[in-house]
Structures are given as structure tokens and as C-alpha cells.
Chains A and B, each alone.
Chain A
Amino acid sequence: MSEEGNGVASHPEIEEDSCKGCGRCVAACPRKCLELKSTLNKMGVKPVGYVGEGCIGCGICFYNCPEPYALRVVKS
């Protein structure tokens, strides 16, 4: 985990109910730190989840995601 600056590690913030579970971000993540969850969101699809470590804050998941608010990335 990369911790620098203000001590907050880079990580994605996921709005589960806005995710359609397409998996584009999961496939695109260079650190393979995203996966589809086994539980369903409000719409009835399995949303993306962060495995908890490995994020480098590159934002590639955000740009591959077709939804504006399903995920945002906090970069340390």
C-alpha cells in the first residue's frame, strides 16, 4: 500500500448502487485490485468491490467505467 503525503492510501471509492457490474474496471486495473462482489446491489447486480490493498490511484478504473458515479479514485 502506498502511503505518503497526508497518510491516506490511494483507494477507489465505490457507489455500489450505481454499478452495473460490467467488469470493465476489473479487467483494466493494472494492479488487479478490483473484483466483482458476491452480493447484489439494489438493482440486482453484483457490483465491483475493492480488495482492500494495491491501489496506486492511477484512475484507469474510472476512465474504463461507463457510469459517471459508480467509482471515484482518491490518490494519496
Chain B
Amino acid sequence: MKTIEQKGMYQKFPRSGKDTRVTHYCAGCGHGIVNKLVAECCAEMGLQDNTIFVDPVGCGVFTYYYWDAAHISAAHGRASAAATGVCRARPDAVTIAYQGDGDLGAIGFNNAFQAASRGEKFGCIFINNSLYGMTGGQMAPTTLEGEKTTTTPFGRDPALTGHPLHVCEVFSQLQAPVYVARVSVADTKRIMQCKQAIKRLFEIQRDRKGYALLEILAPCPTNFGMNPLKAAEFCMNEMEAEFPLGVFRDAEKGVGGSRSCATEGGADAQERVPPVSATLAVKPVPRFSSCAELFGVPDGVDAPPAVDDPSVPERRFKFAGYGGQGILSLGICVAEAARLQKRHTLWFPSYGPEQRGGSASCSVVVSGMPIGSPTVEHPDVLVCMNQPSYERFVGDVKRGGIVIVDSTVPITKHPPEGVKLYQVPAIKMAEDFGVPKAANTMMLAALRAFKATGLDDEHLETALCASFKKKPQLVEKNRDLLHRAEAALAGA
């Protein structure tokens, strides 16, 4: 009997002050697949006690919690510079830098490029997901032409922001690198090729051959705005068309020569890169009358500015759950309703480097007078959609406050004295109504039913509808769900 299981990683990851067995990556993230392969190769080759990883800033920042080997964290973009120091100070060790397309492709490009040019003896793993993941999906140098990101909402226009940067093609122009290759983790075949390439990277370092660069195309479902399977397809179709896979240089095996790009992927790639035209014109972009319109934030109704009213006490909310449950939108709804009611209000999201797949929470403060701080340590109203968030925040609720928690959460901890607890089957109701994603709308219904917000029902409903401004077909659906949920809660 044989078991196929993870090798080379710690059994538990002591993140955020507690032990966990899950990574911080979003569901379907390419980093996770690569992290597993790197740990496995390191362990299978018996190099764990002899490897120093240089960790980046970016989504890959937490690899030191996962890989059971030595680590050094570098400042943003400086992993290749730090790795230069490490590999020179410890020529007996295997040094591996792990960087993303913000870290290597943008701010740290010159560090990485010069290290490659000097032929420093370390291996560099470069994760290319065509955008800045951790900071929320902005354009990266590797963003494809026409690709929509938060900073290129109409698609990347080469006349305005340049062409995608082909890191492998550029690095394989240098004389010193002994290995330059591009692989992907979009499907099983590519994952197994990726493992072979990572092994090669380790081999080259183990044998002190010189500088090696491995670019890995990785899906980012969260920022592509796609489900994990569609994101993998995007990697295979769109990204590979721009960034062909292949070995650009493997000096020992005679692949690719010095200053030559004529290799498996390279020659092909050169043909595909369009010539830069002198007449490249910036495409006109649509005009918007306000920032709210441009970013599609809810402003369905014109709201008058807040009016000071000292008789309205400050009310503090915390919404928490699993990223992707609509926690942040629920908070926006309440804040928007407050705005419609001429209250002062602030909404403040909080999440780790992961955007989905970890805990997400947001704070909302509503007051009759100007608000000092948007952060909420002791909420009057706490809404929890999963067990970890309930356990984390329930002890903080103020006396006289209320806690609304989904019925799937076991009550392992009791709220403090004087705090009311409501268990609401939000997730189940949403499923029963045939719209599993609307669990947050169910929670809004509960907030209305329990008079938890101090805001008018009418404003809460208007705010809910405004939040679906970009998807008008969902407005009536959610209004209907809100009413049905309230009827169900009233009957319960």
C-alpha cells in the first residue's frame, strides 16, 4: 500500500496566532499547487536541510509557514537581491527565491535581471498570474492586452500602458543563466511538467551550476473574476497565447544558446509579439460623470449629505464570515442605508493577504454625529456566517448588543452576559429559495426583522436594490427574497 500525500511541509501552519492545516490562498489558486510541488521536490531530493528559501512580498508572502526548510523574508521586490547575498554567504546551500509578477516583474525587475546577468547561483521561481493578486487585481507588467483589471477597467491598452512583459524571453537574452523555462499549473499534464521543471531548478542549484529562472503561469480565480475551472482555462487559452510554454535555455542539455532566443517556446513567441507601431493611438475610453459611476459602487439613489443629529447614538456593526459569502457587500448595504437616512457612516473591510478562502470581515459605524474611527473592536451588532468568525468575535460584543449567527454554526462559545443571540438559517433559506449566493440577503432580512440596525426598513431595501445596480436582473429577485425571508423569520 502506498500513500500519495504532501511531503516537505509542516503539519500545522501557525498563522494568525493559531494552528491551521489550510493555506491562506483563495480556492483554486495556482500558488497552492506550486507550493505543494516545491515542498515535494525539496523533500524528495533530500534537500530540506540544505535549502534556504527567500520569500517575497505578494500572495506568496507566507511560504515560510508552509515549507519545512530555512527561510528569509525579503522586502518587496528584493527577493533576488537578498538571494544574491544568501547564495554568496552560503555557497554550500541551495538558495531559491520565490517571487510574483509584482515582486519580480515590476518593482524588483532590475534586481532580478541583474542577478540573472551576473549568474548568481540561485534558482528563481516566478509566479505569473497576469496581475497584482494580493493588492486586489491591479494591472501588472504581465497583464495581457485587453485584459480587464481594476486599474485597466476597459482592458489594457498598449498605447497607454505598454505591452505585456515577457520575462523568460528577456532573461534568455542574457549570457549567464543556465536554465530559463516557462511552465503552467492549469491542468494535470502541465502540473506534472511543472514538477519536472521545479526538480530541474533544484538539481541545478544542488550541483552549483548557476542561475536558473522558472516562470509558472498560475490562475488567480478571485481577480480574474472567474470560478477556478474557468480561471485555469484562461491560463491555458489566453495566457499561453501570449506567454508560450517551453524551455528557453538549458545550457547542459544544449537548449538555447547565449544571446539566442531560438528555442522551443522562444522562436514561436517572437513571431507572436506584434511590432511596435509608431502610429499607435490611445483608444478613446467612455466618459463617466462620477467616480461612483466609473467603479459601479451603489449610488442608485441620490443621497443628501449627512445631517448632524446628537440624539442618534453611535451604533457599531461587525460582519464576519468566509471570504466569498457576501460579507463585505452586506456591510456596504447597511452603510448605504445609513447614508440614505442622512446619517454619518463608515464602512471598513478587513481581510488578510487572501481575498477569498480565508476569513473576511468588515466594520460599519453609523452615527448621528461625525465618526472618529472606522474600526470596531466592540460591536453592538455582530453578524457571523461561519464558525471561525463566530468564535473569534463573539466575546467582543457589547452588553445590550445582539449576535446574529447562521444556524450551521455550532454554539461552542456563549456570548457575554446581556447579549442576545439569534440563530438564523440564512444559508439554508437561501438554498431552499434556489439562490445559494443570497445568504447575505437573508442576513439583511434578519437585521430588519430584529430591528438591529436602527435604520428605516425602506432605506435598507433601497440600499439592497442599489447594490445590484450592475446586475439589474437580480434587483427584483433579491427584493423578493428579502420579503420571503422576513415572512419566514416572522413565522418562526
- Chain A interfacial positions (CB closer than 8 Å to B): 5-6, 8, 15, 17-18, 20-24, 27-28, 40, 42-45, 57, 59-60, 62-70, 72-76
Shortest B402–chain A CB gap in Å is: 21
Chain B, interface residues (CB within 8 Å), range: 35 or more
**B1→A40 contact, CB < 8 A:** no
| Contact A67 B321, beta carbon cutoff 8 Å | no
B408 within 8 A of A: yes
Docked pose: A24 CA to B231 CA in angstroms: 11
Pick from A64, A65, A66 the residue with the most CB of B within 10 Å: A66
Instruction: Give A45 to B203 CA distance when docked, in angstroms.
Output: 39
CB distance from A62 to the nearest CB of B (A): 5
A8 to B: closest C-beta gap in Å:
6
Tell me whether A22 and B28 are in contact (CB under 8 A): yes
Listed by A's residue number, 20 A-B pairs whose Cβ atoms lie within 8 Å are A6-B1, A20-B26, A20-B27, A22-B28, A28-B187, A43-B22, A44-B427, A57-B4, A59-B4, A64-B188, A65-B33, A66-B25, A66-B31, A66-B33, A68-B6, A69-B6, A69-B21, A70-B22, A72-B3, A73-B4
Q: What chain B residues lie within 8 Å of A17 (beta carbons)?
A: 21-22
Scoring B residues 14 to 33 as 1 if CB is less than 8 Å from chain A, else 0, what string do you get?
A: 00000001110111111111
Binds A, one of B151-159, B291-299, B381-389: B381-389
Does A28 contact B33, Cβ atoms closer than 8 Å?
no
Contacts of B29 in A (CB 8 A): 66
B126 within 8 A of A: no
Do B228 and A24 have beta carbons less than 8 Å apart?
yes
Interface membership of B58, Cβ < 8 A: no
In angstroms, how far is the closest chain B Cβ from the Cβ of A29?
A: 10
Expressed in whole angstroms, the minimum distance between the Cβ of A21 and any Cβ of chain B is 6
Q: Among A27, A60, A63, which residue has the most Cβ atoms of chain B within 10 A?
A: A63
Q: Given known contacts A40-B408, A43-B387, what 9 new A-B pairs fall within 8 Å (CB)?
A: A20-B357, A22-B27, A23-B227, A42-B386, A44-B408, A45-B27, A63-B192, A66-B27, A72-B6
Interface of B is mostly: mixed
B4 — which chain A residues lie within 8 A by C-beta?
A: 57, 59, 62, 72-73, 75
* Minimum C-beta distance from B38 to chain A (A): 11
> Nearest Cβ distance between residue B332 and chain A, in whole angstroms?
20
Q: Which residue of A lies closest to B32 (CB)?
A: A66
Is there contact, CB below 8 Å, between B6 and A43? no
B1 with A5: CB separation less than 8 A: yes
B28 touches A74 (CB 8 A): no
Would A66 and B191 count as touching, CB distance under 8 A?
A: no
- The verdict on B243 contacting chain A, using a C-beta distance below 8 Å, is no
Residues from chain A with Cβ under 8 Å of B25 in the complex: 66
Contacts of B37 in A (CB 8 A): 63
Residues in A with CB closer than 8 Å to B27 are 20-22, 45, 66
A24, A27, A59, A75 — most chain B CB neighbours (10 Å): A24
Cβ-defined contact, B3 with A74, below 8 A? yes
Q: How far is the CB of A60 from chain B (nearest CB, A)?
A: 5
- Is A23 within 8 A of B228, CB to CB? yes
- Whether A72 pairs with B28 at a CB distance below 8 angstroms is no
Q: Would you call B229 and A24 a contact (CB within 8 A)?
A: yes
Contacting A at CB under 8 A, from B272-296, are: none
Q: How far apart sit A64 and B232, CA to CA, in the bound complex (Å)?
A: 11
Q: How distant is B428 from chain A, measured CB to nearest CB, in Å?
A: 10
> Is B387 a contact partner of A76 (Cβ separation < 8 A)?
no
**Which residue, of B31, B192, B406, B408, has the highest number of chain A Cβ atoms within 10 A?**
B408
CB nearest to A7 among chain B residues:
B1
Q: How far is the CA of A18 from the CA of B25 in the complex (A)?
A: 12
Interface residues of B in 462-477 (CB under 8 A from A): none
**How many angstroms between the C-alpha atoms of A26 and B221 in the bound complex?**
16
Q: How far is the CA of A21 from the CA of B325 in the complex (A)?
A: 13
State how many angstroms separate the Cβ of B356 from the closest Cβ of chain A.
8
**In the complex the two chains form, is A68's CB within 8 Å of B35's CB?**
yes
Name, among B25, B35, B228, the residue most crowded by chain A CB atoms within 10 Å (CB to CB). B228
Kindly state the separation between the CA atoms of A6 and B1 in the bound complex, as whole angstroms.
Answer: 7
Interchain CB contact under 8 A, B28 and A24: yes
Q: Is B94 an interface residue (CB 8 A)?
A: no
